[in-house]
A and B are shown apart, each in its own frame.
Chain A
Amino acid sequence: MNRRHFLHALALLAAASACPGAAVAARRREKKPTGKESPPQADAPEKTPPPGPARLVVVFLRGGVDALSVLPPFENDFYRLARPTTALAPPGRPGGAVPLADGLGLHPALADLVQDYKAGRLAFVQGVGLPEVVRDHVTAQKIMEAGLGGAAALAGGRVDGWLNRLALELAPRPTGKKAPPDTTVRAVFATPRRPLILFGKVGSLNLPPGRFVSPVDAATLPDVTELDASLAKAYGAKGVPPALARVFREGVSFRRSRLAALAREMSASQGGDPPVSLFPELAGRLAAQMVRRPELSLAFLAFGGFDSHVRQGAGAGRLAEALGHTAKGLGVLAEGLAPVMERTVVVVVSEFGRTLGENGTGGTDNGHGGLLWLMGGPVVGGRVYGQPPGLAGRRLYREHLLPVTMDYRQPLSAILRGHLGLSAEAAARVFPGFSPDTSLDGLVRGRPDAADSPSS
């Protein structure tokens, strides 16, 4: 424990040189215990006066979250056909979905979020994603963090992140020529390295996640490996046609190389960020920091562990565990931010959704259309926005990709304008080249004081 704290401090010192304000954070953090539900510090400005600044927390779930597991369409016949081992059972069965709305359920591991949904603080937007099909994690994450429309836009040299551009828009305009530049740090991130989403001119504060170990068994099929071993002997026995024995061996090596490739991909999809099991802990620390420092109006968290190519599972299993950590993390975040939650929007994104059909290793592959989650006081929740994905037969047998019916920047623009009070021009500077329509105008409640916000 001591050693870990020491490493923390070292990391913080290193980060401090890059990010102004980090050292302060380090000193404060060392004083306080890192409990999941940390009590407010005595010296912290608790009970922040109600309005406060509008805040935005972006949680990036890396790897491509399976939208059909988060919001299982348990009544849909194609869903059951497409997902023999990963479809959630209907409500009432063991490991069954929690009924949410109109044929849609919530994954049982997310059951704690139902009350937020019912209370109108949680919403989902379906069919969200990149405007073009990008099935490579790193590229898709880059595009999404840069706030761009496609891979072609990445090619033009250095790109900066949209959260960085948003921070610039939130800074007050200098009043005179001689006015000192605004150096307030408005953004905080809890990833080991500064994420692309915060690349750019603006300063940001790092809350290092500390040392972590990512699970290494995510791409294994223990019982199949064992079965392969005992079958290898049966197929090697006398009397088995050589052609059959050869095909069996080829099948084994086919699976082995597939699993090895998936292991590499799954680890790359994490982008060096902590596993989602750290979500609750980091959420607690981030919330405490944000409550203490009201100027931190933008925050970014990123976790890996959603690239469920292997043994995704249904009501229980690898994805269920990851979603369980997510629900817990969101709960801790909401609790920690309770004093300011009325003015906070937490948005959960992922680079893409997953295929409709399963692959040969009990999981699902990189897809296209996904899901965006929104939580917080200003969210007009208790609803699922966007078009439900059509799961029809052709998709099931030939295409496998769920469509993107809404650009991911559409709901984000609605938040920038409705919640953070950005003008249309300012929002267009955050997402250059994207012009939102009015379909999601009712996604968040604007506040009367939103008009006072610094940007024109």
Chain B
Amino acid sequence: MGREYTTFCARRAPYGLFLGATAFSALAAVLVLASFPSALFAAQMSPDQKILHVLSRLTYGPAPGDVERVRDMGVAAFIAEQLEPDAIPQSKALAARLEALPTTRLGAVELFREYGPTLDKAGGLGPSQVLAARDRAGVVSREAVEARLLRAVADPAQLRELLTDFWYNHFNVDAGKGLARIWAGAYEREAIRPYVLGRFLDLLAATAMHPAMLIALDNWRNVAPRGEAAAQPSAGPAAQEPPHGDDRRDGAPAEGDARGIDTTYAATLLSVHTLGQATAFSADDVTALARVFTGWRIGAPRSETDKNGFVFDQTAHDPTDKTFLGATIQGGGMAEGAAALRFLAAHEATARHVCRRLAAFFLAGEPSPGLTDRLSGVFVQSGGEIRAVLAALFSDAEFFDEKRYGAGFKSPLRHVVSAVRATGAMPDDPTPLADVLARMGAPLFHCPDPAGYALAPSGPPTARDMAARVVFSADLVSGRLPLWTGRPVGLAPTALLAALGRTTASHASQTTGAKAPEKAASAGKKAAKAAAARATGRDDPGLDAAAILAGPDFVRY
């Protein structure tokens, strides 16, 4: 079995060696292709629009000085820089802040040892132990949230941060489910972050084997029914550490209950992670794939392939041959799963599905079929190199189509992070933003839908979300939201507009007409307003920071 696994790993090296070559050839091909259809498209953006466009699409939103920096270095150079995040010097201030979050340096196994439920003396595990462990694990959730928000706000490798959000949602794990609560952050660090610009198959393999995913989509309980499993002397129950699939069943996941095929992971793998369209596979394919993944579980390591909490449990695996998407997968232990993942990663429908989602995320809207075709061509040619696909996307005429400029609606996370970035001040404590996101309907790490949040909303936010954004802006500007111990200078309206690359004049033209009728208000009302303005820390009633951060131009990007 170990040998089979190494073959799965060994494929990485050749791809790595040819990475540069494939990426370049793909890029060249796309540039040639792109020159034709561009004529069919409407006008391109102006140079100034292009600057703001790459800042709003390749970052969470401009911070003070970003517009000038991109103008100096050029749009193409900025895109190239963001596509190579490892070469971007890390911010020292950010590194120091991340250093102060010790649980974000722990792996999945260490986290379980430190913060998982501990058995009582009798070896039992009652609800009280589970509850106590959950409270103890509060620091893990908080630090994971803090790390993600700090990076989103302050990491200069912004494209990597956006992609982390994208891929986390593509391979969504709901931290509200059982032990995933302590592993959501580790999942992001171990299974998502290292591969966001790498090879799609690596993402697929890393997420499939991560304990957080095994919990979130119930594959830890996906076992071959008795009699079908490989009949070999059992080396003891597979899951030594009780995994707690779900809070509702906390404390009582009897081994006996778990006997059976669970198709949750297989179904999500096909319909969300890879093929996408429901027409590309049948219910039989789902069951066959679920059988392939029987025995992919959680526990103490028993062989060299078992690492980081992942265990391949031979006794729970269905060793029969399976027919999957018309092909036969020979019964062969863990290699079956590896083969299935390779097959899916190379599938044409996967290329289209993944490329369409990536393009929609960066275009903030549905891509044209032609663009999806061009990108999936790159995907297939490059062997699923995400960097190559993105390079093609960012050099495509459609990316700079005038119609795409400022036409997207920000997701809650993008809205909140872009507001904080615009101030230019790193929050002393970003955790208050977590509950703000929850009220906008998108709590970090807690999307119960396996398909993740809609990252490129096709329409404006809901009324409730919109109301929450206005309150967020008022709370942020007034200092009620205690992100900073002192009031950052970047919150001054003029500073905000400068950071956002908008002139005060253009903003005023939009709101002055609006301000006129207010002058008719009675003197008493005006005095009260001035007092309120002082109380909320607004320095200039005509130019209101809160109105900028909740305005129609800020909700879009």
Contacts and interface: CB of A to CB of B under 8 A. Distances in A.
Contact of A81 (B431, B470, B511): B431
Contacts of A230: 511, 514-515, 544, 547
Given A234-B510, A243-B459, 19 more contacts: A76-B138, A81-B145, A84-B481, A223-B536, A233-B513, A237-B511, A241-B460, A248-B466, A248-B552, A251-B469, A254-B463, A254-B464, A360-B467, A362-B475, A392-B135, A393-B134, A393-B141, A393-B446, A397-B438
A151 to B, nearest CB: 26
A361 interface: yes
B460 A244 contact: yes
A392 B544 contact: no
A252 B467 contact: yes
A418 B463 CA distance: 55
A227 B474 contact: yes
A224 to B, nearest CB: 5
B481 A85 contact: yes
A127 to B, nearest CB: 13
Interface in A323-354: none
A357 B438 CA distance: 9
B550 A357 contact: no
B259 interface: no
User: Of residues B131, B134, B459, B466, which shows the largest number of chain A Cβ atoms within 10 Å of its Cβ?
Assistant: B466
Interface of A: 76-78, 80-85, 89, 221-224, 226-237, 240-241, 243-245, 247-248, 250-255, 357-362, 390-394, 397-398
Contact of A251 (B432, B467, B475, B482): B467
Contacts of A361: 471
Chief secondary structure at chain A's binding surface: helix
Contacts of B478: 223
Contacts of B429: 80
Contacts of A226: 529, 532
Contact of A84 (B409, B433, B550): B433
B244 to A, nearest CB: 12
17 contacts: A78-B141, A80-B142, A81-B138, A84-B481, A233-B514, A234-B510, A244-B552, A244-B556, A247-B460, A247-B466, A254-B467, A255-B467, A360-B439, A360-B464, A390-B132, A397-B438, A398-B176
B131 A250 contact: no
Contacts of A391: 135, 138
Contacts of A253: 463
Nearest to A246: B460
A177 B438 CA distance: 68
A2 B192 CA distance: 75
A226 B435 CA distance: 24
B443 interface: yes
A230 B532 CA distance: 14
Nearest to A359: B439
Interface in B418-472: 429, 431-436, 438-439, 443, 446, 459-471
B473 interface: yes
A231 B471 contact: no
B181 A237 contact: no
A252 B475 CA distance: 16
Nearest to A229: B518
A234 B511 contact: yes
B34 interface: no
A237 B461 CA distance: 19
Interface centre among A236, A251, A361 (most CB of B within 10 A): A251
Contacts of B267: none
Contact of B439 (A243, A248, A358, A393): A358
B175 interface: yes
B555 interface: yes
Given A77-B138, A244-B556, A357-B438, A85 B466 contact: no
Contacts of B460: 241, 243-244, 247
B468 A360 contact: yes
Given A251-B466, A398-B176, A83 B435 contact: yes
B142 A81 contact: yes
B514 A393 contact: no
B139 interface: yes
Contacts of A254: 463-464, 467
B547 A251 contact: no
Given A81-B431, A224-B470, A392-B134, A240 B552 contact: yes
A345 B142 CA distance: 41
A441 B311 CA distance: 51
Contacts of A82: 435
A84 B435 contact: yes
B471 A362 contact: yes
- Residue among B138, B141, B431, B468 with most chain A CB within 10 A: B138
A231 B553 CA distance: 11
Given A85-B482, A247-B460, A393 B467 contact: no
A362 B480 contact: yes
Contacts of A244: 409, 460, 552, 555-556
Contacts of B552: 234-235, 237, 240, 244-245, 248
Contacts of B500: none
B7 to A, nearest CB: 40
Nearest to A232: B514
B65 interface: no
B551 interface: yes
A250 B409 CA distance: 17
Contact of A77 (B139, B465, B544, B555): B139
Given A233-B513, A244-B552, A390-B134, A223 B463 contact: no
Nearest to B547: A230
Contact of B547 (A77, A227, A357, A394): A227
Contacts of B141: 77-78, 81, 393
Given A83-B435, A85-B482, A234-B510, A227 B544 contact: yes
B108 interface: no
Nearest to B550: A231
Interface string B138-181: 11011001000000000000000000000000000001100001
A200 B460 CA distance: 58
Given A224-B470, A393-B181, A84 B176 contact: no
Contacts of B473: 227
Nearest to B440: A360
A224 B547 CA distance: 10
Interface string B475-493: 1001011100000000000
A80 B431 CA distance: 7
A226 B360 CA distance: 36
A318 B459 CA distance: 37
Given A227-B546, A244-B460, A237 B134 contact: no
Contacts of B145: 81
B247 interface: yes
B550 to A, nearest CB: 6
Contacts of A224: 470-471, 474
A397 B436 CA distance: 12
A227 B550 contact: yes
A233 B511 contact: yes
B459 A81 contact: no
Contact of A234 (B432, B435, B547): B547
Contacts of B439: 358-360
